[in-house]
């Protein structure tokens, strides 16, 4: 079994098996993403070289760079990483539960649901604490997940049918989001618009602090539940046969997925296709084991949003295109390619 | 589900009733609104014009609006019926299949990058947009082991719709268009559109209507399957091309004048089927009629649901149509 | 560990498939369920594995209702290989077999020494050690099925249930699998319960045969005891002659029907 690293500690009663391929892929990909993050931090109206960025991060750079970086650039980069990572994780979990490569929170309308309640929260409860925003988004996401469950999952409908229902829900939530935007007071309109396509324009340290706890906690939970997600891939009967508490595990995983989606949407809006793309990239790189897919999917998601945001910020300078438009431009053709590959399932 | 009026008399009666309903809604649309008017004002606007605010609103805003809603409603209704018949898929709709968004994107691109601004040009570009999108999703869905199935077609359409609307949105925000403009090109609107726009596209719309009605019988035969239709002597290729042309005309002209309004063509064929049974000619007629009724009602609703703010009409139709779609999809009735 | 049913009734929707069935699975033996298509043998097997809830009656594991046991504990005693299992693309044999250790793991302990041993042994017993890092979908039909059986072996249970493990395999691989199961029963004394379609292979490999017909057990016992022309007629609606397998001495069913009739060479011994 040279393909794996075995980690055993009698003192801490821990034993893990880590796939070599997954480990090094994760490390490599993480390094690339960090490199991109550093370069991206340097890009903008005031160009800062990567070396200068590193110096600023270490506290030894010039004061002007440090100022720009810490107040403007860094929060946005961190948000991109966290939002992308959350979407990546959510997508990986959903594909494991639904067992269909076309499933993702945005295609199934869960992202849309989160958008509706998020935008409603912003426009209706203007004075409420912003820390409640992820909870509002979470509520919407849960609602849609519940509808999906009632209409599709419970009846034992195939996953294609589930995707159809999701498409309808997505259209419905899109209409509702538009209503809120139209009804919103003028000042909030542009802020509300991010929930149409997703954008991380103007994000601040507050946003980082909003999403960070959700991200860390839910990701930790997902890692703990990784082997439950893994066994689902062999089919329900096998899972039951090896003693998996199927319904409970599916519910837990769904809740984690919905939580991650809600948090990501609350901060970055409905950035489409990331949750679809990232797990696929992960699967191509490290194979089907969920424990390997999860970290790679997180990093892939971060990379996509980071890259997308970089393009969004710089390609049409000085204008700021919503990052959702970029990810859709890449993601939709990919989705179509997936459809082509999956025909007849 | 057996249809309720199975004999001709009932069908004619229903049609008559429907047209009456359209007239009523039409008039209601003119009278009701944010600015309160009444019958007398409407009559005066045409008989004893005195330049008052109300009268101007009636003539320049409400009348065009009602006419556009009626015309677009008819187009979308009949187009939806044709689309569902052609694809043998009760879940087909121009919005779900991305045809709307594709047309919209084409126009936005032309507007931004090529400075196109005349409605006549918009119309032709919208046609191109519908055609290109349609061909794309057809090719994607049909190129596979299973060929064209309702599911792959819908999914291909959904991807196109998401892609097109995202890029449209992106382009519009980059070009700093106002919210109203953005919403127009994303969800459509029948208000604030000049009567000349309707006049410009009307020939295409009317051609679309006529063409579709003429296609009723051939498409009915085609629905039985390509092989059967060919063995009955039909030129299936011609029928398909003409149907495609009809869809392009109807959707393109609707989008050119009112933006991408979806879901009208999803709901009306179902109702039409319930009312008049499987005969396509009557289905088309009823679907057209119901489309006008639906859109007029939606337009009135858009004015009052969020009084005094007006909602975009595409939102109202989505509010009706999307739950309808979800329930249909959940029932598993994708084969007719 | 004892596995039995008591007054078991199973149904899909309104129609009962199995009605008031009492059954005792003999420990340490190979039991085969036979019956015509749709008679409920697969349904029965799946309910034994607690995959299906009974309408009335109970499945008893060690005398207690199986649904009363925590599912994880059951998994340490019973393993099931359903029909036509599908592995995700790219999953290696090793990764598949490792999944069998699920009931013994928790989030901290995912690869204990016992886990490793069990997997290694399972791979050895099925002769797949050399193929451990190959993707399951790249294997031949027989090898693939062996991989799935290895997974159930790694689960370390005393009883293994298999639903038509040979149905999609050609003859060579059918024998390969059945031989493997026979060996496991001989050497490790695991109880094997399976549904098989092939009557003659069932007679050859089974210690205990259970014929299901008309929502009930028609007969059960060793193949020599119960295999009669009457049984074949009642259960399969087929006229036949029961002969003695010239190689193994077990009962062999030769069905009547159409086909070329060549001159008989020798008289075939009969039961």
For helices A290-314 and A20-42, the axis angle rounded to 10 degrees is: 20
Residues of B (231-260) whose Cβ lies below 8 Å from A: none
**Using the beta-carbon criterion (under 8 Å), do A14 and C109 form an inter-chain contact?**
yes
Q: CA of C154: how far to CAs of A234, A261, B39, C76, C147, in Å? A: 15, 37, 84, 10, 10
Which one of C69, C87, C95 makes the best mutation probe of the A interface by having the most chain A beta carbons within 10 Å? C95
With CB atoms and an 8 Å threshold, state whether A233 touches C98. Answer: no
Q: At what angle do helices B195-222 and B63-87 cross, to 10 degrees?
A: 20
Reported as a pLDDT band with limits 50, 70 and 90, residue C165 is very high
Flag whether pLDDT at B142 surpasses 80: no
- Residue A248 near chain C (CB below 8 Å): no
Distance CA A119, CA C199 (A): 66
The two most distant CA atoms of chain C are separated, in Å, by 70
* Contact with chain C for residue A159, Cβ under 8 A: no
- C117 in contact with chain A, both atoms CB, cutoff 8 A: no
Question: Could you give all domains of chain B from N- to C-terminal order, each with its CATH number?
Answer: 53-335 (1.10.3470.10)
pLDDT at A37 > cutoff 80: yes
Confidence check: pLDDT of A30 > 60: yes
Residues B69, B188 contacting (CB under 8 angstroms): no
- Residue B333 — pLDDT band, cuts 50, 70, 90? very low
What is the predicted pLDDT for the residue at A1?
46
For B170, which of A161, A179, A325 is closest by C-beta distance? A325
Cβ–Cβ of B170/A197 closer than 8 Å? Answer: yes
Q: A219: distance to nearest CA of chain C, Å?
A: 14
Please write the tens of the pLDDT for every residue from A215-227. Answer: 999 999 999 999 9
Cross-chain residue pair A288–C89, CB shorter than 8 Å: yes
User: Which DSSP state fits A22?
Assistant: H
- The top-scoring range by mean pLDDT among B33-47, B272-286, C135-149 is C135-149
Q: So what's the pLDDT on residue C163?
A: 94
pLDDT value at position B332? Answer: 60
**For A294-314, what is each residue's pLDDT tens digit?**
999 999 999 999 999 988 888
Pick the residue with more confidence: A9 or B286? B286
Give mean pLDDT, residues A4-29.
Answer: 82
Q: With an 8 Å Cβ cutoff, are A178 and B183 in contact? A: yes
CB–CB contact C110 A15 (8 Å): yes
Which pLDDT value is given to residue B336? 29
Residue B145 has pLDDT above 60, yes or no: no
Residues of chain B with Cβ-Cβ distance to A324 below 8 Å are: 166, 169-170
Q: Is some CB atom of chain C closer than 8 A to the CB atom of A51?
A: no
Q: What is the structure's pLDDT at A306?
A: 93
Q: Which long-range contacts (CB under 8 A, 24 or more apart) does C65-74 make?
A: C71/A240, C71/A243, C71/A244, C71/A245, C72/A243, C72/A245, C72/C103, C73/A243, C73/C103, C74/A243, C74/C50
Instruction: Please state the ipTM of this predicted complex.
Output: 0.87
B318: nearest CB among A175, A181, A328: A175
The reported pLDDT for the residue numbered C232 is: 93
Rg (CA), chain B: 20
What pairs with residue C210 in β-bridges? C33, C220
- Which stretch, A104-118, B111-125, B142-156, has highest mean pLDDT? A104-118
* Most A-contacting residue of C51, C110, C153 (CB-CB within 10 A), to test interface: C110
Structure tokens at B18: 């429907």
Instruction: Please give the share of chain A, as a percent, with pLDDT higher than 70.
Output: 91
How many CB pairs lie under 8 A apart between chains A and C?
A: 101
Q: What backbone phi and psi angles, to 5 degrees, belong to C236?
A: -110, 0
**Confidence at residue B335, expressed as pLDDT on a 0 to 100 scale:** 36
Cβ–Cβ below 8 Å for C105 and A14: no
CA distances from B11 to B71, B290, C2 (A): 22, 13, 70
Per the model's pLDDT, the better-predicted residue between A189 and B325 turns out to be B325
Residue-level pLDDT at A102: 75
The answer to whether the pTM exceeds 0.95 is: no
Q: Which residue has the higher pLDDT, A281 or C270?
A: A281
CB C198 within 8 A of CB C165: no
List C-alpha distances in Å: A80 to A96, A297, B229, B274, C36: 24, 14, 55, 50, 60
Which residue on chain A is closest to B324 by alpha carbon? A168
Chains that touch B (3 or more CB pairs under 8 A): A
Residues of chain A in contact with residue B186, where contact means CB-CB under 8 angstroms, are: 178, 196
Angle at A271 between CA A268 and CA A274, to 5 degrees: 120
Determine contact, residues B266/B161, Cβ cutoff 8 Å: no
**What's the CA gap between A208 and A76, in Å, rounded?**
8
Cβ contacts below 8 Å, chain A against chain B, sum to 149
DSSP-based three-state secondary structure for B80:
helix
Q: In order of start, what are the domains of chain A with their CATH numbers?
A: 81-341 (1.10.3470.10)
Q: Write down the pLDDT at residue A345.
A: 45
Q: What is the CA radius of gyration of chain A?
A: 20
Q: Residue B6: what pLDDT?
A: 59
A106 φψ region: left (φ > 0), alpha (ψ -120 to 50), beta (else):
alpha
Q: Which residue of chain A comes nearest to C78, CA vs CA?
A: A241
Contact partners for chain A, using 3 or more CB pairs closer than 8 A, are B, C
Contact indicator for C146, C127 with CB cutoff of 8 Å = yes
Percent of all residues in chain A with a pLDDT value above 90, rounded to a whole number: 30
């Amino acid at each position: 079994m040279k393909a794996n690293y075995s980690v055993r500690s009698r003192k801490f009663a821990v034993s893990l098996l880590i796939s070599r391929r997954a480990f090094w892929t994760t490390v490599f990909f993480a390094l690339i993403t960090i490199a991109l993050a550093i370069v991206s931090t340097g890009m903008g109206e005031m160009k800062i070289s990567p070396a200068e960025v590193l110096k600023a991060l270490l506290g030894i750079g010039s004061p002007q760079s440090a100022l720009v970086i810490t107040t403007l650039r860094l929060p946005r980069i961190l948000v991109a990483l966290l939002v992308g990572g959350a979407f990546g994780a959510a997508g990986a979990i959903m594909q494991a539960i639904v067992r269909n490569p076309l499933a993702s929170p945005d295609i199934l309308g869960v992202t849309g649901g989160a958008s509706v309640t998020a935008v409603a929260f912003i426009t209706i409860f203007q004075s409420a604490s912003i820390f409640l925003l992820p909870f509002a988004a979470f509520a919407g996401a849960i609602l849609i997940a519940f509808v999906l469950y009632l209409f599709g999952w419970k009846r034992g409908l195939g996953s294609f049918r589930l995707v159809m229902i999701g498409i309808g829900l997505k259209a419905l939530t899109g209409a509702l989001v538009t209503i809120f935007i139209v009804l919103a007071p003028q000042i909030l309109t542009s802020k509300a618009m991010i929930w149409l396509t997703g954008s991380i324009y103007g994000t601040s340290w507050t946003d980082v602090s909003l999403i960070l706890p959700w991200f860390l906690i839910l990701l930790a939970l997902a890692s703990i539940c990784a082997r439950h997600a893994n066994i689902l891939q062999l089919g329900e009967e096998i899972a039951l046969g090896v003693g998996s508490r199927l319904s409970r595990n599916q519910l837990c995983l769904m809740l984690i997925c919905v939580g991650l989606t809600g948090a990501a949407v609350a901060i970055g809006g409905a950035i489409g296709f990331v949750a679809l793309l990232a797990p696929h990239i992960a699967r191509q790189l490290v194979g089907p084991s969920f424990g390997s897919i999860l970290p790679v999917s997180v990093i892939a998601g971060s990379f996509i949003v980071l890259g997308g945001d970089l393009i969004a910020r710089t390609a049409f300078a000085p204008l700021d295109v919503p990052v959702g438009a970029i990810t859709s431009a890449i993601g939709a053709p990919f989705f179509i390619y997936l459809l082509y590959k999956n025909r007849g399932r | 589900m057996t249809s309720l009026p199975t004999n001709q008399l009932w069908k004619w009666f229903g049609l008559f009733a429907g047209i009456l309903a359209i007239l009523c809604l039409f008039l209601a649309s003119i009278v009701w609104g944010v600015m309160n008017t009444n019958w007398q004002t409407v009559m005066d606007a045409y008989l004893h014009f005195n330049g008052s605010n109300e009268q101007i609103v009636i003539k320049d805003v409400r009348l065009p609006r009602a006419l556009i809603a009626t015309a677009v409603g008819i187009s979308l209704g009949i187009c939806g019926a044709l689309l569902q018949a052609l694809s043998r898929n009760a879940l087909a709709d121009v919005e779900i299949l991305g045809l709307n968004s594709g047309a919209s994107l084409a126009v936005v691109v032309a507007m931004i990058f090529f400075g196109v601004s005349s409605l006549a040009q918009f119309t032709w570009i919208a046609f191109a947009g519908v055609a290109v999108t349609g061909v794309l999703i057809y090719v994607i869905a049909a190129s596979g082991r299973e060929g064209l199935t309702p599911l792959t077609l819908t999914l291909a359409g959904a991807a196109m719709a998401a892609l097109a609307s995202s890029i449209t949105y992106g382009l519009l925000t980059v070009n700093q268009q106002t919210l109203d403009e953005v919403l127009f090109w994303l969800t459509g609107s029948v208000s604030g559109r000049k009567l000349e726009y309707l006049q410009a596209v009307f020939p295409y719309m009317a051609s679309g209507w006529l063409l579709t009605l003429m296609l009723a019988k051939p498409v009915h035969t085609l629905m039985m399957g390509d092989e059967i239709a060919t063995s009955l002597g039909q030129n299936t290729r011609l029928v398909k091309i003409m149907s495609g042309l009809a869809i392009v005309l109807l959707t393109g002209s609707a989008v050119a004048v009112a933006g991408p309004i979806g879901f009208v063509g999803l709901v009306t064929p179902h109702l039409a089927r319930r009312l008049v049974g499987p005969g396509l000619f009557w289905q088309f007629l009823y679907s057209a009629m119901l489309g006008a009724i639906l859109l007029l009602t939606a337009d009135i609703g858009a004015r009052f649901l969020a009084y005094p703010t007006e909602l975009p009409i595409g939102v109202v139709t989505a509010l009706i149509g999307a739950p309808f779609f979800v329930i249909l999809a959940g029932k598993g009735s994708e084969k007719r | 560990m004892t596995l039995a049913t008591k007054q078991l009734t199973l149904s899909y929707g309104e129609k009962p498939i199995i009605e008031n069935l009492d059954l005792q699975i003999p420990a340490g033996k190979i039991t085969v369920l036979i019956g015509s298509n749709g008679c409920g043998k697969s349904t029965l097997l799946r309910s034994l594995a607690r995959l299906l809830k009974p309408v009335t009656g109970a499945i008893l594991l060690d005398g207690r209702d199986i649904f009363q046991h925590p599912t994880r504990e059951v998994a340490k005693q019973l393993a099931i290989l359903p029909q036509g299992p599908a592995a995700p693309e790219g999953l290696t044999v090793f990764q598949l077999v490792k999944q069998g250790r699920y009931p013994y793991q928790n989030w901290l302990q995912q690869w204990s020494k016992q886990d490793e041993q069990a997997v290694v042994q399972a791979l050895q017993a099925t002769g797949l050690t050399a193929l451990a890092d190959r993707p399951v979908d790249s294997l031949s039909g027989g090898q693939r099925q062996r991989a799935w059986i290895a997974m159930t072996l790694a689960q370390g249970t005393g009883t293994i249930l298999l639903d038509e493990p040979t149905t999609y395999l050609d003859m060579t691989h059918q024998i390969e699998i059945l031989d493997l199961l026979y060996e496991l029963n001989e050497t490790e004394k695991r109880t094997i319960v399976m549904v098989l379609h092939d009557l003659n292979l069932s007679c050859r490999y089974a210690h205990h045969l259970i014929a299901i017909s008309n929502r009930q057990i028609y007969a059960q016992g060793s193949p020599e005891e119960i295999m009669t022309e009457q049984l074949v007629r009642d259960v399969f609606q087929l006229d036949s002659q029961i002969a003695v397998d010239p190689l193994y001495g077990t009962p062999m069913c030769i069905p009547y029907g159409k086909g070329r009739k060549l001159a008989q060479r020798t008289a075939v011994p009969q039961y």
